[in-house]
């Protein structure tokens, strides 16, 4: 079948949802790439500021790692401070706790009885 109609923009409907849903989804999106999980893992294991070490551990170009770090920072999951020509990143544990709390709150309701499936 041919489609002759010109479609309207694939509208971004994300704003049609509640703030809680949006925030949770935003946070999950930051976690939705193995490179970012790996970065967080490295930061968690060191629990101190790392910078170029992350690049040397990951199988990605420096610019790509920098971009992933930026996304984690924008999501609030890590904190970055500039120290001369190098940057220093740490996990924002409070943000993680908040994520866990919100996440559990949404889904821990009726875990006891399953009506079907």
Partner DNA sequence: ATCTTATATCGCAAATATACGATTAATAAG
Partner DNA sequence: CTTATTAATCGTATATTTGCGATATAAGAT
If we measure between CA atoms, which residue out of 52, 38, 37 comes closest to residue 89?
Answer: 52
Give residues with Cβ within 8 angstroms of 74, minimum separation 6.
Answer: 30
> Given the structure tokens 């984690």, which residue do they identify?
72
Which of residues 41, 64, 103, 105 is near DNA by CB under 7 A?
64
Contact 62, 55 (CB under 8 A): yes
61 binds DNA (CB under 7 A): yes
Smallest distance, its own copies to C-beta of residue 101, A: 12
41 binds DNA (CB under 7 A): no
Distance CA 5, CA 2 (A): 9
Which of residues 45, 48, 84, 115 is near DNA by CB under 7 A?
84
Smallest distance, its own copies to C-beta of residue 20, A: 8
Smallest distance, DNA to C-beta of residue 89, A: 7
If we measure between CA atoms, which residue out of 63, 88, 74, 66 comes closest to residue 29?
Answer: 74
Q: Which residues bind DNA (CB under 7 A)?
A: 1-3, 5-7, 9-14, 29, 32-33, 35, 51-52, 55, 60-64, 66-71, 80, 84-87
């Amino acid at each position: 079948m041919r489609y002759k109609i010109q479609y309207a923009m694939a509208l971004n409907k994300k704003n049609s949802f509640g703030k809680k849903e949006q925030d949770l989804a935003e946070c999950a999106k930051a976690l939705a790439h193995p490179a970012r999980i790996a970065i967080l893992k490295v930061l968690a294991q060191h629990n101190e500021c790392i910078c170029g070490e992350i690049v040397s551990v990951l199988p990605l170009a420096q610019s790509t790692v920098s971009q992933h770090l930026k996304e984690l920072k924008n999501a609030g999951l890590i904190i970055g401070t500039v120290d001369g020509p190098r940057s220093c990143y740490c996990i924002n544990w409070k943000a993680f706790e908040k994520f866990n709390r919100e996440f559990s709150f949404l889904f821990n309701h009726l875990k006891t009885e399953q009506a079907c499936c």
